[in-house]
């Protein structure tokens, strides 16, 4: 029985990740990575350099940016390759974003790929979040993705080529305790992607929506400091992944023109169940045949998450009565 289940799972993962690569290298192509100075974005930037791309990394802190530029130079695969950074707060108003992106294109050519990796998570129960934090989550995670995308999208459509990547989270496939303000912003990113998918039908422009699980980045280490115990326990069940593994997979999926990029077992299962756009015939087939069964499994998992929350409540009650 266990063996059968393992084989079925392997088959499911293999089927849901089959697709051919549209672009084998990125020679002479300009790739922009927001949040490219740390964590997942930095891993993506380095992988893109290894494929021959000219890469721009965007962030606020110039020290971090210039150190990544140095690191990227160490991975050049041809003499013509160029890298640069731009210090930009992606929560700025649209005019500022537009000006910065237009300067970048003047310096390094039209943008072929945009990775929206700038983002962060402030955890906590919704009623305990500061008003500023709730707004910051939307400004950074949603508008910080929507505005750069608004800039590149019409140009890509005009040239009829280009790839955009949105970085959401597994916590936008399932509502999770402690990820309320952050999760909502990442659900908005997912919502934007789902509509843009249909607006791209009939064009060669591609959008990839990524759902990373916990990933061991500087941002993750920071968020762990204030993360509620319940959130740690629930989120941890998706495992802890390395930024290079997540960055590489994200880039590969984007180069395949996939709508979705997921990581690990939990990501594959959740994406089958919470399906949106059509990625491949085999994936749709799998969704149709596994839907009921997977729903049952995820309900059991969700009930175990509810138990974690209930246990937390009784622990806090006990502590306050002592």
Ligand X SMILES: CCCCCCCCCCCCCCCC(=O)[C@@H](N)CO
| Alpha helices, DSSP H, located in the chain | 2-16, 39-50, 62-73, 94-108, 131-137, 144-159, 180-199, 218-224, 229-236, 243-255, 264-273, 281-321
Name the strands in the sheet holding 162-167, side by side, starting at the edge strand that comes first in the sequence: 83-87, 54-59, 30-34, 111-116, 162-167, 205-211, 260-262
Neighbour count for residue 155 (Cβ, 10 Å): 14
Q: How far apart are CA 55 and CA 219, in angstroms?
A: 22
Q: Is 97 in the site for ligand NDP (CB under 6 A)?
A: no
- Choose the one of ligand NDP, ligand X, none that binds residue 178, judging by a C-beta under 5 to 8 angstroms depending on kind: none
Which of 147, 179, 182, 260 is flagged as catalytic? 182
Other residues' Cβ atoms within 10 Å of the Cβ of residue 141? 31
Asked whether position 230 contacts ligand X by CB under 6 A, the answer is no
Q: How far is Cα 29 from Cα 52, in angstroms, rounded to an integer?
A: 8
Minimal distance in Å, beta carbon 190 to ligand X?
12
Q: Which stretch binds ligand NDP (CB under 6 A): 3-11, 84-92, 281-289, 311-319?
A: 84-92
Give yes or no: 179 in active site: no
Residue among 140 and 286 whose Cβ is closer to ligand NDP:
140
Which CB, 124 or 286, lies closer to ligand NDP?
124
Q: Is 92 a residue of the active site?
A: no
Distance CA 33, CA 165 (A): 9
> Which of 59, 148, 162, 264 contacts ligand NDP by CB under 6 A?
59
Please count the residues of this chain forming the interface with ligand X, following the rule CB under 6 A: 19
Q: Tell me if 237 contacts ligand X by CB under 6 A.
A: yes
Among residues 171, 192, 250, 251, which is the contact residue for ligand X, using CB under 6 A? 171
Q: Of 153, 174, 246, 251, which lies in the binding site for ligand X, with binding defined by CB under 6 A?
A: 174
Annotated catalytic residue within 17, 37, 38, 168: 168
Look at residues 220, 232, 120, 229 and name the one whose alpha carbon lies nearest to residue 167: 120
Contacts of ligand X in 247-266 (CB under 6 A): 266
Handedness of CA 13, 16, 20, 23 (dihedral sign): negative
Cα gap 152→110, rounded to integer Å: 9
* Residues 313, 319, 321, 322, Cα dihedral to 10°: 160
Min separation Cβ 20 and ligand NDP, Å: 26
178 dihedral zone (left: phi>0; alpha: psi -120 to 50; beta): left
Least distance (Å) between residue 251 CB and ligand NDP: 14
279 binds ligand X (CB under 6 A): no
233 binds ligand NDP (CB under 6 A): no
The 91-110 contact track toward ligand X, x by CB under 6 A, reads --------------------
* Contact residue for ligand X among 56, 149, 180, 235 (CB under 6 A): 235
Are 54 and 31 spatial neighbours (Cβ–Cβ below 8 Å)? yes
The residues of the shown chain that bind ligand X, judged by CB under 6 A, are 121, 169-171, 174, 176, 213-214, 220, 223, 235, 237-238, 266, 269-270, 297-298, 301
The residues of the shown chain that bind ligand NDP, judged by CB under 6 A, are 34-35, 37-41, 58-61, 64, 88-91, 117-121, 140, 167, 169, 212, 214-215, 217-220
Active-site residues: which are they? 168, 182, 186
């Amino acid at each position: 029985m266990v063996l059968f289940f393992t084989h079925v799972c392997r088959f499911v993962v293999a089927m849901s990740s089959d697709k051919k690569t549209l672009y084998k290298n990125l020679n002479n192509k300009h790739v922009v990575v927001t949040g490219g100075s740390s964590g997942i974005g930095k891993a993506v930037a380095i992988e893109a350099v290894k494929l021959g791309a000219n890469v721009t990394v965007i962030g606020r802190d110039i020290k971090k940016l210039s150190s990544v530029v140095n690191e990227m130079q160490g991975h050049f695969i041809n003499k013509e390759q160029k890298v640069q950074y731009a210090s930009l707060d992606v929560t700025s108003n649209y005019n500022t974003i537009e000006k910065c992106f237009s300067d970048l294109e003047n310096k390094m050519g039209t943008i072929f790929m945009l990775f929206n990796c700038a983002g962060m998570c402030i955890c906590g129960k919704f009623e305990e979040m500061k008003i500023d934090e709730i707004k910051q989550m939307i400004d950074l995670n949603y508008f910080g993705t929507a505005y750069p995308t608004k800039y590149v999208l019409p140009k890509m459509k005009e040239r009829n080529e280009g790839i955009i990547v949105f970085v959401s989270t597994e916590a936008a496939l399932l509502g999770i305790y402690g990820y309320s303000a952050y999760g909502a912003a990442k659900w908005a990113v997912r919502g934007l992607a789902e509509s843009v998918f249909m607006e791209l039908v009939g064009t060669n422009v591609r959008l990839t929506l990524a759902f990373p699980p916990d990933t061991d980045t500087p941002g993750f280490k920071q968020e762990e400091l204030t993360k509620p115990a319940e959130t740690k326990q629930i989120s941890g069940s998706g495992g802890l992944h390395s930024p290079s593994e997540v960055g590489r997979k994200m880039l590969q999926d984007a180069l395949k023109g996939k709508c979705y990029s997921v990581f690990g077992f939990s990501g594959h299962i959740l994406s089958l169940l919470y399906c949106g756009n059509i990625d491949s015939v085999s994936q749709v087939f799998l969704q149709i045949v596994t839907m009921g069964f997977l729903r049952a499994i995820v309900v059991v998992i969700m009930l175990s998450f509810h138990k974690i929350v209930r246990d937390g409540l009784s622990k806090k009650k006990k502590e306050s009565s002592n």
